[in-house]
Amino acid sequence: MEIDHNLKKKLEKGKNRLAEIFLRSKLVDKKYIDAFLRVPREFFVLERYVKYAYVDTPLPILKDATISAISMCLLMCQHAELDYGKTVLEIGTGSGYNAALCAEVVTNGVIQEMKQKPVCSIEIDPALYNFGRENLKKLNYLRVIDVRLGDGTQGWPEDRRFDAVIVTAAGRVIPEPLKKQLKIGGVLVMPVDLGRYDWQILLKIRRISEDSYTKTELEPVRFVPLKGRYGIKQVP
């Protein structure tokens, strides 16, 4: 995708302005804003929405999916306590933008080939999987992100534990397979429909031991429904 010079300047201006707003409001820690500045969101949206890339709002991508608002992506990273050297499992690759943000945080911006990739992402929809993976590939993020097609509610297909799990769609329960793939002390962040009004609640689950977890309700959110065996829209 080619972006003309004038639009590039406008996008850069909008990006910097948004970063200043996030800094002034103390929305999230600076390391997450630095990661935001390194990821070109304009390459993760549909071409007709490029001019809105740095408007802090969700944007449609394919089918009924969206790319989340920038502030929500950053908040999810902070709630998941992402930091340099940590590993993260993302459920719902979508456009690939959130996975790219995670990668920037956990590598501190050093996107180089790794044997075991610190970011793993699963997408259940084949069209979205191809869209997100291609976006990440063009920007070299596949060096540090492992993207798979499958039912993310059943967890990563290989035997691995993560420091953080981020679910980018709303379910009615926290899938047990995802809790089991947390390291001790690890954090899972997911929107859950608790039947309260038209909003979901963002939950933070921390694994305390092999068999015990704590749960914290964070804030009201709006996400698309989670698909999969343990999702709202169940599939085999």
Catalytic residue among 25, 68, 121, 212: 68
Closest C-alpha to 173, from 155, 153, 159, 156: 153
To the nearest 10 degrees (0 to 180), the angle between helices 70-79 and 97-107 is 40
Residue 116: beta bridge partners? none
For the question of residue 68 being annotated catalytic, the response is yes
First to last CA, the chain: 36
CB-based burial label for 161 (10 Å; 0-12, 13-18, 19+): middle
**Is 42 strand, coil or helix?**
helix
To the nearest 10 degrees (0 to 180), the angle between helices 97-107 and 126-138 is 40
Closest C-alpha to 98, from 137, 124, 59, 72: 72
Q: Where are the alpha helices (DSSP H) in the chain?
A: 5-25, 30-38, 70-79, 97-107, 126-138, 176-180
- Positions marked catalytic: 68
